[in-house]
């Protein structure tokens, strides 16, 4: 999987149709107060979800950076050890 492929949303056809049906039901609903309440709740929920996703992506970035640095350190240590082993084996 490429670096950011996990961030791409792929909805199945069934999910797309369900989403469209739910969206249309709101558009054609007669009770405007109920729709206003729903919109207010969705605004709050969206904000919380955006914050959570931002924090999650930041944490994932930290973990990937730590992993990369650890792997780089291990490669450098192996390189140094191999160099030292060559010197010792040539004696």
Q: Which parts of the chain register pLDDT below 50?
A: none
Nearest 10 degrees: Cα torsion 61, 67, 73, 74 = -160
- Give the model confidence (pLDDT) of 37-54 as tens digits: 999 999 999 999 999 999
Q: Token pair 């050890």 is at which residue?
A: 81
pLDDT of residue 6: 77
Measured CA to CA, the distance from residue 63 to residue 56 in angstroms comes to: 11
pLDDT of residue 7: 78
């Amino acid at each position: 999987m490429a670096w950011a492929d996990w961030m791409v949303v792929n909805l199945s056809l069934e999910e797309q149709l369900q989403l469209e049906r739910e969206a249309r039901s709101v558009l054609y609903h007669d009770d405007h107060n109920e729709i206003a309440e729903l919109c207010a709740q969705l605004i709050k929920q969206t904000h919380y979800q955006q914050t959570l996703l931002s924090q999650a992506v930041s944490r994932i970035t930290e973990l990937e950076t730590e992993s990369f640095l650890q792997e780089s350190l291990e490669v450098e240590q192996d390189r140094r050890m191999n160099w030292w082993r060559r010197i010792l084996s040539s004696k």
